[in-house]
Amino acid sequence: MNEAIRPEPGQLLQAGAPLQLSVIVPTFNESGNVAVLVQRLGVALAGIAWEVIFVDDNSPDGTADVVRALSQRDPRVRCIRRIGRRGLSGACIEGMLASSAPCAAVIDGDLQHDETQLPKMLGLIESGAAELVIGSRYIDGGSADSFNSQRLGASKFATAVAQRVLRVKIADPMSGFFMIRRDRFEQLAPQLSIQGFKILLDVVATARGDLRITEVPYTFGSRLHGESKLDSMVALDFLGLVLAKLTNDVVSLRFLLFALVGSIGLCVHFAALYVALEVYLLPFAEAQACGALLAMTSNFLLNNFLTYRDQRLKGFGILRGLLLFYLVCSVGLLANVGVAFSVYDQEPIWWLAGAAGALMGVVWNYAMSGLFVWRKR
Ligand code: GDD
Ligand code: MN
């Protein structure tokens, strides 16, 4: 970094001074908070050449419009509006990749993080003392008093799991407030998961010890306006990240969920078959068809609700998706039976042939569903 050009804190910046810091702010429905945040960043970062990149997932409350209006007045403010996507981690990654500054920080848009720590964090990176600086609630001087006891318990539990299972040695791997040297981030970016919300934990686990890390204490404040977007489903995301990192990305949570939903479908199928045969006295072929249709429908709904909740189909898209899902599963059934037959032909062990067919079916259904039903837009 060019020492000659960098002004002292408090000194006015010359126009065109090289950018030192990009502050990335993921937002979803934060229209009431963004102006205050920009104003506070201006105060905290006086004398530093900074910009702020908001990454908004098309918030219905018009956060992106508010940000654009701010950026008309202050060119240091930028806005990335993502359509058809949701996810804190993905938004942070995209924001950091849009930065050209040597350092990038991630901070929440609701003023729960302490922006006055940013100059200290930048100093630690620019001096070479650290490559990643984490705003930590769980070291001396930090706190998370605004958490209710349930949330605090969950956060501490996840922290303990991350520390033991992923052998992460930092006090607050669940923090959403950190700063990183952008070149180091770019190296890690291809291996990061865009699902979920644990971007920092992902960065630290992916680096496998090859990152100089320092933590600085801060107090996790209360939200200014609006409400938290993290629901109970984040536990699932966390599990998924731990699984993926433990297995070197071989096992994805999505596939496990898809297979789990498939086994629930099997129970639905048998229950429906039983009722159709015993209660409605339908002939077997019709009863079997009813069971299959019901199982496919419940699989579709569960997958839409759980497995693909970040890409959930809505409105008319549900009907279209359901019809496509029927089609995918029908071909999957043919593949299932075909494989089972040929295995049985070689080796007449019924459970082996059955399992091979079922595995073929679920892999096919999973691959094709991802391509055609819940495809990424
Ligand atoms: N673009 C985008 N997309 N932004 C999102 C999304 C999303 O799907 N979900 C949440 N955000 C934004 C919010 O608008 C906010 O600016 C920030 O991400 C944090 O979201 P909150 O909903 O306020 O999360 P929280 O306060 O409950 O959780 C915070 O504390 C945790 C520590 O326990 C976050 O900082 C977490 O990352 C952190 O782990
Ligand atoms: Mn928050």
pLDDT at residue 13, rounded to an integer: 59
> Is 96 in the same domain as 239?
yes
> Is 211 in the same domain as 281?
no
Report the alpha-carbon distance of residue 291 to residue 267 in Å, rounded. 10
Q: Where are the alpha helices (DSSP H) in 230-349?
A: 234-246, 253-278, 284-302, 316-346
Which residue among 194, 218, 246 closes a domain?
Answer: 246
pLDDT at residue 10, rounded to an integer: 47
CA angle 201, 202, 206 (to 5 degrees): 120
> Is 222 in the same domain as 357?
no
pLDDT band, residue 15 (cuts 50/70/90): low
> Is 223 in the same domain as 288?
no
pLDDT at residue 155, rounded to an integer: 87
Which residue among 228, 246, 264 closes a domain?
Answer: 246
Residue 135 Cβ inside 6 Å of ligand 1? The answer reads no
- Please name which ligand lies nearest the alpha carbon of 228: 1
Report the alpha-carbon distance of residue 153 to residue 246 in Å, rounded. 23
Q: Per-residue pLDDT for 325 more than 80?
A: yes
Q: Per-residue pLDDT for 7 more than 60?
A: no
How confident is the model over 165-179, as a mean pLDDT? 91
How confident is the model over 152-171, as a mean pLDDT? 88
Residues 301-321 have pLDDT tens digits of 999 999 998 888 999 999 999
Averaged confidence pLDDT in the chain: 90
- Supply the Cα-derived Rg of the chain in whole angstroms: 25
> Is 350 in the same domain as 237?
no
Residue 108 Cα to ligand 2 middle (Å): 6
Q: Give me the number of domains the chain comprises.
A: 2
> Is 158 in the same domain as 299?
no
Residue 173 Cβ inside 6 Å of ligand 1? The answer reads no
Q: Per-residue pLDDT for 149 more than 80?
A: yes
Task: Give the range among 14-18, 28-32, 219-223, 296-300 with minimum mean pLDDT.
Answer: 14-18
pLDDT band, residue 3 (cuts 50/70/90): very low
**Among the listed residues 164, 307, 188, the one whose alpha carbon sits nearest the alpha carbon of residue 236:** 307
Residues 55-93 have pLDDT tens digits of 999 999 999 999 999 999 999 999 999 998 888 999 999
Buried b or exposed e, range 100-133, using 16+ CB within 10 angstroms: ebbbbbbbbbbbbbbbebbbebbebbbeeebbbb
How confident is the model over 191-210, as a mean pLDDT? 89
CB atoms within 10 A of CB 87: 22
Q: Per-residue pLDDT for 12 more than 80?
A: no
pLDDT at residue 2, rounded to an integer: 47
Residue 174 Cβ inside 6 Å of ligand 1? The answer reads yes
Strands (E), 30-131: 50-56, 77-81, 103-106
- Indicate the burial class of 11 (C-beta count within 10 angstroms; 0-12, 13-18, 19 or more): exposed
Q: Per-residue pLDDT for 5 more than 60?
A: no
Task: Give the range among 180-189, 195-204, 312-321 with minimum mean pLDDT.
Answer: 195-204
pLDDT band, residue 40 (cuts 50/70/90): very high
How confident is the model over 351-377, as a mean pLDDT? 89
Q: Which residues pair with 143 in a beta bridge?
A: 219
> Is 172 in the same domain as 257?
no
pLDDT at residue 1, rounded to an integer: 46
Report the alpha-carbon distance of residue 95 to residue 25 in Å, rounded. 8
DSSP-based three-state secondary structure for 250: coil
Q: Per-residue pLDDT for 377 more than 70?
A: no
> Is 272 in the same domain as 338?
yes
Residue 142 Cβ inside 6 Å of ligand 1? The answer reads no
Among 24, 25, 28, 147, the mutation site with the greatest number of ligand 1 atoms within 8 A of its Cβ is 28
- Please name which ligand lies nearest the alpha carbon of 26: 1
Residue 88 Cβ inside 6 Å of ligand 1? The answer reads yes
Which residue among 194, 219, 246 closes a domain?
Answer: 246
> Is 242 in the same domain as 271?
no
CA 225 to chain centre: 23
> Is 343 in the same domain as 215?
no
DSSP-based three-state secondary structure for 105: strand
Question: Domain range spanning residue 54?
Answer: 3-246
How confident is the model over 162-178, as a mean pLDDT? 90
Report the alpha-carbon distance of residue 26 to residue 88 in Å, rounded. 6
CATH number at residue 50: 3.90.550.10
> Is 159 in the same domain as 215?
yes
pLDDT at residue 249, rounded to an integer: 76
Report the alpha-carbon distance of residue 215 to residue 237 in Å, rounded. 24
Task: Give the range among 119-123, 150-154, 183-187 with minimum mean pLDDT.
Answer: 150-154
pLDDT at residue 264, rounded to an integer: 95
Residues 87-117 have pLDDT tens digits of 899 999 999 999 999 999 999 999 999 999 9
- Sequence-ordered list of residues with C-beta below 8 angstroms from that of 2, at least 6 positions apart, any chain: 18
pLDDT at residue 62, rounded to an integer: 96
CA 334 to chain centre: 35
> Is 270 in the same domain as 228?
no
Please state whether beta strands 50-56 and 21-27 pair in parallel, antiparallel, or not at all (unpaired). Answer: parallel
pLDDT at residue 82, rounded to an integer: 95
CB atoms within 10 A of CB 373: 25
Q: Is 75 left (phi over 0), alpha (psi -120 to 50) or beta?
A: alpha
Q: Per-residue pLDDT for 217 more than 90?
A: yes
- Edge-first strand listing for the sheet containing 103-106: 77-81, 50-56, 21-27, 103-106, 178-181, 132-136, 213-217
